[in-house]
Amino acid sequence: MRLSDVLNKAPDGAVYQIEGFLGGRPLRWRRHRNIAVGKVFHNFHCQQCGDQRSFQSGTSLACLGLGDRAVSIDATLKCPGCEGRVEVWFVVGSENDIFGQAPHVRLERYTENLRDRAVSIGEITGPFADLVKRANAAYEAELGAGSMVYLRWILESITCEVAEIANVPTVGKKGGRVPFRDLLERVNDQRSIIPQQFSSNGYKLFGESSEVIHGNSTEEEALKKFKPCLQLVLGVVEEVNRDNVFASAIDELGWGVDDIDVIAGDAS
């Protein structure tokens, strides 16, 4: 296996044994060297082409030494259709000397700079896309609490927006805001925005972010919680998007809620 095979698997962080790529010579701290390890390929949705493309690098990659057991690699990837360019950055670590003949390496960090020219495959779009990008950027910068702030912001925002659509009151009888736990439960009863797999623990998701934000978790704990919490928050966003698509389809067909009940009854 060559180093490019590992880079192509990003963000996979598994350990792989690869062919030596530094010629048995150490690459000292902050020293650069061009390496030939095969081309890097990553699939993105090209904004110019309007379709998925396999962006690829050249045959030579820029490598920066980070000590005897790590290197940083920069690569410019080009769309084969319009030749639009994006940048990707990798940090590769090794269990032994990374300049050896057959080092065991793993991808420790992967960052994309798509410059509005491409979108990651499967990346969320819509009104919360920017907040998700900010959350991921904070995570990449190892800002655990900061990354969780954005996740809570998304969850609060989408709940309040759906509450407005579904005419669920966000203000209590005395003029104060409805506690978020109650609002989330009421909104979910009306529109089922929480994925069924964890519908009974919807508020616990909000609580995880609150624990971090209020200083009850360390930065290390916050970073460990980020990825699973992100997936759950994205699950809520997907449920809302799915509901909106369904509602739009009903409107376009001229069906009413009663019609849907009849059709469902006939199909059963």
Domain that holds residue 18: 3-120
Smallest CA-to-CA distance from 62 within 90, 41, 33 is with 33
pLDDT of residue 122: 60
238/153 same-domain check = yes
For the ranges 39-43, 197-201, 218-222, the maximum mean pLDDT occurs at 39-43
**Torsion angles phi and psi, residue 22, rounded to 5:** -115, 15
With respect to residue 268, please indicate whether it lies within any of the assigned structural domains.
no
Say yes or no to pLDDT of 266 above 80. Answer: no
Give the DSSP H/E element, type plus range, for residue 265.
helix 257-267
Instruction: Assess whether 15 and 98 both reside in one domain.
Output: yes
User: What number of H helices and E strands is found in the chain?
Assistant: 7, 9
Domain boundary among 86, 101, 120: 120
Same domain, 154 and 254: yes
Task: Please state the domain count of the chain.
Answer: 2
Chosen domain end from 120, 150, 174? 120
CA distance 114 to 53: 13
Which of 72, 92, 120 represents a domain boundary (last residue)? Answer: 120
96 in the same domain as 139? no
Q: Mean pLDDT of all residues in the chain?
A: 82
Tens digit of each residue's pLDDT (9 = 90 or more) over 54-108? 999 999 999 999 989 999 999 999 999 999 999 999 999 998 899 999 999 999 9
Supply the DSSP string of 191-227, one letter for each residue. Answer: H--S-GGGGGGHHHHHHHHHHHHTT-S-HHHHHHHHH
Q: Would 102 be classed as within a structural domain?
A: yes
Tokens for 195?
């994925």
Same domain, 151 and 102: no
- Judged against a pLDDT cut of 80, whether residue 149 lies above it is answered with yes
Same domain, 250 and 134: yes
| CA-based radius of gyration for the chain | 24
- Please indicate, yes or no, whether residues 219 and 98 belong to a single structural domain of this protein: no
Number of neighbouring beta carbons within 10 Å of residue 214: 9
Q: Quick one: average pLDDT of 186-208?
A: 71
pLDDT in tens, 230-260: 877 888 887 777 776 656 655 665 555 444 3
185: nearest Cα among 154, 208, 210, 159: 159
Per-residue tokens: 239: 């449920």
186, 253: one domain: yes
35 with 134, same domain: the answer is no
State the first-to-last Cα distance of the chain, in angstroms, to the nearest integer.
53
Same domain, 151 and 233: yes
